[in-house]
Amino acid sequence: MSCAVVDRCCSRSWECEPLELKIPSVQQVAAALGDDVKVRTLPVPWDCTDGFMAAFWRRPQAYQDPAVRQSMSGLQLLDPQVLTRGMTQLRIDLKDGTWQRKNNHLFELDALDLGWRLISTGTTLASDPNES
């Protein structure tokens, strides 16, 4: 998940760009897998219960819970000071209504493309209702 997604869903920039450099792009993974590659978008539903980093895109108050954050490897990779600054800013933005004003449009969505992709090769997957 990109920093832009974290920024949009949580608060202002968390200075996470160095982490993105460690993650291969979808294009790099697909190229490494060869010719018979299929890439599907996996939108994240607003009420996702999995608990991964993007799961709370419409429920940012969850990021304030240390137990929730502990299960998110992406947040664990951040410098603790960067994470503290981000959580402090998110707390302020939630309290003063900045987050709600900035992200009000998210409450109209049932799911959101946050960059998650299913990459497959050489196999037939169950039919996708979104595919024609």
Q: Is residue 93 part of a domain?
A: yes
Q: How far apart are CA 88 and CA 19, in angstroms?
A: 20
On whether residue 102 sits in a domain, the answer given is yes
52 within a domain of the structure (yes/no): yes
Cβ contact 10:89 at 8 Å: no
Q: What's the average model confidence in pLDDT over 60-80?
A: 87
Structure tokens at 115: 């960059």
Residue 127 domain-assigned? Answer: no
Q: Is 119 within the bounds of a domain?
A: no
Query: Could you list the residue range(s) of the whole structural domain that residue 58 is in?
Result: 3-23+45-107
Whether 90 maps to a domain, the answer reads yes
In a domain, 50, yes or no: yes
Give residue 34's identity as a one-letter amino acid code: G
pLDDT digits (tens, 9 = 90+) for 37-69: 999 999 999 999 888 888 899 999 999 999 998
Domains in the chain, number: 1
Q: What is the pLDDT of residues 4-39, one digit of tens each?
A: 445 544 544 445 555 555 678 888 888 888 888 999
Instruction: Please tell me the distance from the alpha carbon of residue 47 to that of residue 103, in angstroms, as a whole number.
Output: 16
Q: How crowded is residue 1: how many other Cβ atoms within 10 Å of its Cβ? A: 20
The residue ranking higher by pLDDT, 2 or 90, is 90
CB 56 within 8 A of CB 107: no
CA atoms of 12 and 7, how far apart (whole Å) = 5
53 in a structural domain: yes
3-state helix, strand, coil in the chain (%, to 5): 50, 10, 40
